[in-house]
Chains A and B, each alone.
Chain A
Amino acid sequence: MSAQDTLLYLDGVSVSFDGFRALNSLSLVIEPGEMRAIIGPNGAGKTTMMDVITGKTRPDTGTILFEGRTDLTSLREPAIANLGIGRKFQRPTVFEMHTVWDNLELSLKAPRRPLKTLTYSATKEDRARIEEILDITRLSPRRDRPAGSLSHGEKQWLEIGMLLAQDPKLLLVDEPVAGMTDAETEQTAHLLKDIAGKHSVIVVEHDMVFVRELGVKVTVLHEGSVLAEGSLDSVSANKQVIDVYLGR
């Protein structure tokens, strides 16, 4: 397959921090509409991979193409976000002082320039879209609460809701179920599967039960590069994978 048909194309991406190779010639391809789970032991480079895709970290070498044409390595975070790449952090990061509604309104796809936001007022469509997301994330009753007062699980959903509002082509989701109860984990899996139909999603996760629940193609990272790729069952059976990760 050529790079043109891909949504995200990483080729030979390397990053070092003070001599430590966080990413070691990492190559990865995500197709439009695909959902991919990324697993790997601590320090395998999962979060660094998200950092280089979203512009937080500049790779030392390698190519990162979005939609087969836009080179992400020279862009800053806001520019990459506006291309259509959304990111959910490992620790839920919402605007605690703002209400749930305002969190979604800030995320909603709309002009991002200061003078546009100064004179912005929500249109009927904007409000309808926010209502819709409140329903999907089951946060309707909490709409006027400050986000800081939400439970851990609710904050995670709010952040996923914010990604939905942003309406990106690609969502990067870092450990969405860390610290969640089993029931919350199951609901989150449903939520992400709903999203996956319209967007491409990359999920980084430790929780194997959750990854099984998602039922998607899995990429195993180890020491900054891809160790194995395939269905969860096939990578689980891979001898190397068992050695470095699953066997522990």
Chain B
Amino acid sequence: MLTRFFLMGLDKKAGVLLTVLAVLAVAVPVMALGTAPDSPWHLSTHTVALLGKYLCFALLALSLDLVWGFVGILSLGHAAFFTLGGYAMGMYLMRQIGSRGVYGNADLPDFMVFLNWTELPWYWHGFDQFWFAAIMVMVVPGLLAFAFGWFAFRSRVTGVYLSIITQALTFALMLAFFRNDMGFGGNNGLTDFKEILGFDIQAASTRVGLFVATVVALAIGYILASAVVASKLGKVLIAVRDAESRVRFLGYETDRYKLFAWTLSACMAGVAGALYVPQVGIINPSEFSPASSIEAVIWVAVGGRGTLAGPVLGAVLVNFGKSYFTAALPELWLFALGGLFVLVTLFLPKGILGLAAQLRERLPARATVTAKPADQKGV
């Protein structure tokens, strides 16, 4: 029953994506750990972390597509959920430092000692346990999304107004987390991590392990999102996107459906953030900045909104471009990103995947012509 539920969303597109992920999960560890450092096939620890980062962004893009592509909620604050997940993981990693910090305080992270705090704030308790942090990674963004969505959807805030308040949400969080007395390291955020689950966080093998974990998380996220979208619930979501009041008159409480997708999406974004933090080694309030959320929207648009696989592709491609451009022509990157968004909006309204579908429709034109009379015979 459950297996069938998870398999029902899988199509050819999913097959390709999951195969690519499986190949990555095998090839990257082999190339990073099984080859000599001077071999042309060798992947440096830096590259592995970079690839891992792209896949975290891919998971964020996937979660955004679930609400934007399928429910029509354009979230301009999805990085908030990503960053909250990241902070939850960062808190665990801070607690793992123990007495190895600059001040050597076994009970308090360095920044708290610096602020002359004498005891751990209540909300830091439990984060020395991995299992607790792993749950909080989903619960914290999920709860925020639930509370936010509860009020927003019940008050029937939609469209551009909803987008603006999601933007305000992430901006408010950024301002809050910048404050030292919030207890999350203020401006500097959380960093100087040493270990995760007892493994040295800098070691090549740990990096590879984190990469594989990210691949697995992305694959699970994809399968879950596909199953949700293919279910009758997914059809209701699409119907809400296209004609919400009609859905209400059919007897569906549309707020609940939106809340379900919105909260699930926030949990997925939280997991993405949690995997991101150990791979980049830092989490700070700038991740909450409105620009991060808007970038995520661009990845989804570039890849193809409402296709699930497209946003994954879009996130990886755009971030690869970002890595390349910011190294080669740093001053041009923002123009390139802006230009890309304009071009995609004007010429590729359905993104790269939509373009692929259009080309496929156009090429075997003869086949579709012959199919039509057969269709009409039934009339």
A interface with B by C-beta (< 8 Å): 54, 56, 76-78, 81-82, 86-87, 89, 93-98, 102, 105-107, 112-114, 117-121, 140-141, 162, 166
| Known contacts A95-B238, A113-B256; A119/B248 CB under 8 A | no
- A102, chain B: closest CB distance, angstroms: 6
Q: Please give, as numbers and ranges, the residues of chain A lying within 8 Å of B239 by CB-CB distance.
A: 95, 98, 106
- Known A-B contacts A78-B253, A82-B251, A113-B256; the reply to A96 vs B232 at CB < 8 A is no
Q: In the complex, how many residues of chain B place their beta carbon closer than 8 angstroms to a beta carbon of chain A? A: 27
Question: By the criterion CB–CB under 8 Å, are A114 and B238 in contact?
Answer: no
Q: Given A81-B251, A82-B251: A98 and B246 within 8 A (CB)? A: no
Tell me if B379 and A114 are in contact (CB < 8 A): no
Beta-carbon contact of A95 and B232 below 8 Å: no
B200: which A residues are within 8 A, CB to CB?
none
B231–A120 touching, CB < 8 Å: yes
> Does B228 belong to the interface (CB within 8 Å)?
yes
Q: A77-B245, A93-B243 are in contact. Are A98 and B251 (CB under 8 A)?
A: no
Cβ–Cβ contact B251 & A117, under 8 A: no
Residues from chain A with a CB closer than 8 A to the CB of B254 are 78
Q: Does B250 contact A (CB under 8 A)?
A: yes
A54 to chain B: which residues have CB within 8 Å? 249
Q: How far is the CA of A86 from the CA of B228 in the complex (A)?
A: 27
Question: What are 17 of the A-B contact pairs (CB < 8 Å)?
Answer: A54-B249, A77-B248, A81-B250, A81-B251, A93-B245, A95-B239, A97-B238, A98-B235, A106-B235, A112-B250, A112-B253, A113-B253, A117-B236, A118-B232, A119-B231, A121-B232, A141-B379
CB atoms of B232 and A120 under 8 A apart: yes
Given contacts A120-B233, A166-B250, list 11 more A-B pairs with CB under 8 A. Answer: A54-B249, A76-B248, A76-B253, A78-B254, A87-B249, A93-B243, A95-B238, A95-B239, A97-B238, A112-B251, A121-B232
By a CB distance below 8 angstroms, the chain B residues around A105 are 232, 235
Residues of chain A within 8 A of B235, CB atoms compared? 98, 102, 105-106
Query: What is the chain A residue whose CB lies nearest that of B379?
Result: A141
- Residues of A near B379 (CB, < 8 A) are 141
Residue in A93, A117, A166 whose CB lies within 8 Å of B232: A117
Complex interface residues of chain B between 214 and 242 (CB less than 8 A to chain A): 228, 231-233, 235-236, 238-239, 242
Smallest CB gap from A122: residue in B: B232
Could you tell me if A95 and B243 are in contact, using CB atoms closer than 8 angstroms?
A: yes
Which 6 pairs, one residue from A and one from B, show the smallest C-beta to C-beta distance?
A81-B251, A77-B248, A141-B378, A120-B232, A82-B251, A117-B233
Bound Cα distance from A168 to B219, whole angstroms: 42
Distance from B65 Cβ to chain A, minimum over Cβ atoms (Å)? 15
Most chain A CB atoms below 10 A, which of B239, B251, B378: B251
> Is there contact, CB below 8 Å, between A114 and B245?
no
Question: Is there contact, CB below 8 Å, between A95 and B242?
Answer: yes
Q: Which residues of B contact A93 (CB under 8 A)?
A: 243, 245-246
Cβ-closest chain A residue relative to B227: A118
CB nearest neighbor in B for A93: B246
Counting CB contacts under 8 A, is B257 at the interface?
yes
Q: How far is the CB of B125 from chain A (nearest CB, A)?
A: 33
Residue of A at shortest CB range from B228?
Answer: A118
Identify B231's interface contact among A97, A98, A118, CB under 8 A.
A118
The reply to whether the CB of B260 lies closer than 8 angstroms to some CB of chain A is: yes
Q: Which of A82, A114, A118, A162 has the most CB of B within 10 A?
A: A114
**B153 adjacent to chain A (CB < 8 Å):** no
A residues near B250, Cβ cutoff 8 Å: 81, 106-107, 112, 162, 166
The complex places the Cα of A89 from the Cα of B243 at a distance, in Å, of 12
Q: Which residues of A contact B161 (CB under 8 A)?
A: none
- Residues in A whose Cβ lies below 8 Å from that of B248: 76-78, 81
- A97 to B242 Cα, complex, angstroms: 8
| B103 interface residue per 8 A CB criterion | no
Please measure, in the bound complex, the distance between the C-alpha atom of A76 and the C-alpha atom of B251, giving whole angstroms: 10
A106–B251 contact, CB under 8 A? no
Complex formed: what's the CA distance from A35 to B332 in Å?
69
- A117: chain B residues within 8 A (beta carbon): 231-233, 236
Cα-based distance from A121 to B246 in the complex (angstroms) = 22
Task: Please indicate the chain A residues that have their CB under 8 angstroms from the CB of B256 in the complex.
Answer: 113-114
Cα–Cα, bound, A233→B245 (Å):
37
Nearest chain A CB to B374 CB, angstrom units: 11
Least CB distance, A125 to chain B, in whole angstroms: 16
Interface: B252 (CB within 8 A): yes
In the complex, how many angstroms separate the beta carbon of B299 from the nearest chain A beta carbon? 23
Contacts of B232 in A (CB 8 A): 105-106, 117-118, 120-121
> Complex: how many Å from CA A76 to CA B249?
10
B5 interface hit (Cβ, 8 Å) = yes
Contact of A118 with B251 in the complex, beta carbons under 8 Å: no
Decide if B243 touches A118 in the complex (CB within 8 Å): no
Inter-chain CA distance A94–B242, complex, in Å, is 9
Chain A residues with CB under 8 Å of B246's CB are 89, 93-95
Q: Which residues of B contact A82 (CB under 8 A)?
A: 251
Question: Residues of A contacting B233 with CB < 8 Å?
Answer: 114, 117-118, 120
Residues of chain A contacted by B238 (CB below 8 angstroms): 95, 97-98
Q: Which residues of A contact B242 (CB under 8 A)?
A: 95-97
How far in angstroms is the closest Cβ of chain A from B232?
4
Q: How far is A112 from B233 in the complex, measured between Cα atoms in Å?
A: 9
Distance A96 CA – B249 CA, assembled complex (angstroms): 16
CA distance A122 to B211 in the complex (A): 40
Chain B residues 247 to 273 lying within 8 A of chain A, measured CB to CB, are 247-254, 256-257, 260
